[in-house]
Chain A
């Protein structure tokens, strides 16, 4: 599953492109930053409703290449800029995290 596939499947709007052709190694969903710090692995997709700048710091530190913001929440401009600068893909889907994850389960089959 590539970043591009996830964006298409969830109808997401891309705010920072990153590398859309990158193959994802796994995925995690969560809004507690320390939980993501503990559990996320390199190359994973992260689904969250957090939209502040620190989301980018966690992604950088854990080598997470793609942040998918759920429920149509609008990321702070500082987050968009930081993701762009770090080469991290950032996209927003109108789907809630549960629905987005469900759509991706179909894709992964």
Chain B
């Protein structure tokens, strides 16, 4: 298990936790296509927690048959999850968008790369995302 804090306002460090995860997965000898899928999930979850959640925690746990990525923040919550899942929908500010974030593709990217995705969110309390990637049986 690995866990990293995502610090609020620290845009330069964005992607740091997910790149560390990727290095760990490669070291564990996980097949490269699974590593890339997990990397996309971790990166987008990390970005979301920072941009929308005001920072939080990113945790990855590797089991024999799967890996789980959990992103937790104590931000404003997501009022309408199905809307947030729509490609192109984003509440990011113009400033964020100029940096190439806020394309409204984060959650769809996670959904596409995860075998299962669970989002628990409460207004003004925060959001917890759990994404699972299942290893193919040998």
Contact = CB atoms under 8 A, between A and B. Distances in A.
Interface residues of B, number: 26
B99 A58 contact: no
B57 to A, nearest CB: 18
A54 B44 contact: no
A60 B14 contact: no
Interface in B24-47: 32, 36, 39-40, 42-44, 47
A58 B15 CA distance: 8
Interface residues of A, number: 22
Question: Dominant SS at the A interface?
Answer: helix
B116 to A, nearest CB: 19
A53 B99 CA distance: 10
Contacts of A28: none
Interface of B: 11-12, 14-16, 18-19, 22, 32, 36, 39-40, 42-44, 47, 99-101, 103-106, 108-109, 112
Interface of A: 31-35, 37-38, 42, 48, 50, 52-58, 60-63, 78
